[in-house]
Chains A and B, each alone.
Chain A
Amino acid sequence: MSEDLSRTPVSLSSVREDDPHLQPAAKNPIVVERIIALNFIAAMLSLAGFLWAYVVNAQAWKLGATFGGGLFFLGVGLVAWGKYLMPRGPFVEERHVLSSTQAERDSFADAIVNRGGGVIKRRKFLGGLLGGSVALVGAASVWPLLRSLGPMPKGTLFHTDWRRGTYAVDQSGRRIHTSDLAVGSIVTVFPEGKQDSERGQAVDQTVLIRISNQDYTTQKGREGWGPKGYVAYSKLCTHLGCPVGLYEQQLQLLVCPCHQSMFDVTNGAIPNFGPAPRPLPQLPLMIDSLGYIRAQSDYHEPVGPGFWERA
């Protein structure tokens, strides 16, 4: 069986000028050259088109098409040149052994162990003190950088801004009245005065839902929390803190859009599906003499996702 010598690799340093390895790979170099030339011309026209499109402030897709197209044609031409017109090879190169001789390795180790180790051995006490000082330099560099980054959490995560008598307002600051909502309605509420603040939106956000026309008790021990069928739950999902804005009024479920935890609105927002581990905290409500909806107190537990200090 004949071996195709043209496929045997040759070394670059020893190749002769008339070697077929230096010939282009294309059978028809002239034709290929013309095709590459067309690609380069297309690239130049396209990129010139991009410059023109930029000057006349053309739409984004025209800018992108000319820019991307120009680069693409340029790439095709250049790759084709390298692949079909340049020396076809293949070429070979010997791998030189990376590792040094044992003698060289020994001398390197000797420098470290004997010269360096000798120094430390003679002055062990100083070496220890040096190590201690460098360690403290490290601590001095890192600790202020990290500690100054932010405030200590302290009790921030344990309370919201809801207090006894706080009015429930919507995002425009309007107080919610009992006659506002029908059964099956939902509105996002905040403590009055906090609807525009970052903390108000991030921590105090609450959903107010009317599930009945009569007073509603969602759990034992929560009598009086749901006057006239209005119940309020923290909008922060107990899984990862996404706002639980998705309410299905017939299934009576609050579904979290992030990871699809489903909370039973009629039963203390207990999650009956999905990864949320705890029910949404319920805000005890009351209705004042004028019919406005107000909170009885803050939430009875921290809102939002779990954390170490949360009992």
Chain B
Amino acid sequence: MDRSLLGVVLIKVEMMSTSALKRSVTFLFLLALVAGPVLVFFSPANAASHNGYQTSRKNSGTPNSSQVVRDAKGNVVSYGNNSITYTAPSTALIQLGHALYLQNCATCHGVEANGVTADGTAGAYPNLVGVGPATVDFWIESGRMPAADPRNVQAARHVSRLNHQQALAVAAWVNSLAPGFPLIPTPHLNNANVSDGAALFALNCAACHTIEGSGDALAANTYAPSLRNIPAYQVVEAIRTGPGNMPRFTGNLSDKQVNDVVKYVTTEIQHPNNPGGLGLGGLGPVAEGFIGLAIGVGILALLGYWVGERD
């Protein structure tokens, strides 16, 4: 996408003259129709998955953590702290994982998992080498991969096609190509502070997922999904790996902070108390307005029809 053209036209949008207005309105309209799906596939930031997980901050999802356990060959087997423990999938699963990968993933991601160009777009079926086990496990166990329809702008959550063991196996095999981070997380919710989690959620998550965790539509057919039916470890995986358009939270959130957020999500978001009655879908004033008008004024108008006369 030619960004300088974008820039030239858009500066004109600000200082408006009539003819430039017509041109830029027409251009913006076509841009909206065309650029949305195109930008998704042409986006250069798909390269993010190649950069691996980076932060030097301690206790933020990397082996730069309190307790690191290595195997005989020196590979990291697990690390973590009393907030979250990250574990590598067992190397015994690698062979099973390779077989499952060839069955379910190779047609799109390539036999060597380094991505397939489709119509010249490098990012269409991403390179999985070095992404880390948590990324692979998240996409598989949330049912988004294998993709039901690769043409969709954003893959939707489904019941997973592979069970937990199989997903770990695929993750083990991909990780064996080039080790990456973070590993598979296990949050220790008993040590979490739900109030800190609430404050962090409001600052970092509510802007996309809404403060009640209902999810909402984002630009160009992307969306932030609802947080209602997600197990705790998948929430950690999503936060640490930043799937799709979701930003990655690496060094800016410590494991303790992530654990707090997960506790908040799995308690208040997924099981709200709702002492006031029906939750009305957690959509806020939109739902309340419809209920107030349709049911409140509606029922009262019907009652008025009874109280008054007909003619």
Q: Which chain A residues have a beta carbon within 8 Å of chain B's beta carbons?
A: 59-61, 64, 79, 83, 170-171, 176-177, 179-188, 209, 211, 213, 219, 243, 245-253, 255, 257, 260, 262, 264, 266-268, 270-273, 277-278
Nearest chain B CB to A280 CB, angstrom units = 13
Contact B48 A267 (CB under 8 A): no
Number of residues on chain B facing chain A (CB within 8 A): 50
Select the stretch in B66-74, B162-170, B183-191, B247-255 that faces chain A: B247-255
Contact A251 B40 (CB under 8 A): yes
Contact B48 A184 (CB under 8 A): yes
Cβ of A272: which chain B residues have Cβ within 8 Å of it? Answer: 6, 10, 28, 31, 35
Cβ of B281: which chain A residues have Cβ within 8 Å of it? Answer: none
Contact B57 A249 (CB under 8 A): no
Max count, chain B CB within 10 A of own CB: residue among A60, A79, A243, A246: A246
Cβ of B251: which chain A residues have Cβ within 8 Å of it? Answer: 177, 179-182, 185
Q: Which residues, 233 to 260 on B, are CB-close (under 8 Å) to A?
A: 242, 244-252
Contact B55 A252 (CB under 8 A): no
Q: Which chain B residues have a beta carbon within 8 Å of chain A's beta carbons?
A: 3, 6-7, 10-11, 13-14, 28, 31-32, 35, 39-40, 43-48, 51-57, 203-204, 206-208, 218-220, 222, 242, 244-252, 275-277, 306-307
Contact B48 A183 (CB under 8 A): yes
The 7 closest A-B CB pairs, nearest first, are: A180-B251, A245-B207, A179-B56, A248-B245, A187-B252, A184-B48, A246-B207
Cβ of B44: which chain A residues have Cβ within 8 Å of it? Answer: 252
Cβ of A219: which chain B residues have Cβ within 8 Å of it? Answer: 7
Contact A59 B275 (CB under 8 A): yes
14 A-B contacts (beta carbon < 8 Å): A170-B252, A176-B252, A181-B55, A181-B250, A182-B52, A183-B45, A185-B252, A245-B204, A245-B208, A246-B207, A250-B48, A253-B219, A270-B6, A277-B13
The B interface is mostly helix, strand or loop, or mixed, namely helix
Closest residue on chain A to residue B57 by CB atoms: A180
Closest residue on chain B to residue A257 by CB atoms: B207
Cβ of A180: which chain B residues have Cβ within 8 Å of it? Answer: 55-57, 250-252
Contact B248 A182 (CB under 8 A): yes
Considering the chains assembled together, what is the distance between the CA atoms of A278 and B10 in angstroms? 9
Considering the chains assembled together, what is the distance between the CA atoms of A79 and B302 in angstroms? 14
Closest residue on chain B to residue A186 by CB atoms: B247
Q: Which of B219, B248, B275 is in CB contact (< 8 Å) with A249?
A: B248
Considering the chains assembled together, what is the distance between the CA atoms of A270 and B10 in angstroms? 7
Cβ of B203: which chain A residues have Cβ within 8 Å of it? Answer: 171, 188, 245
Given contacts A61-B277, A79-B307, A83-B307, contact A251 B252 (CB under 8 A): no
Contact B218 A249 (CB under 8 A): no
Considering the chains assembled together, what is the distance between the CA atoms of A248 and B39 in angstroms? 12
Cβ of A246: which chain B residues have Cβ within 8 Å of it? Answer: 207-208, 218
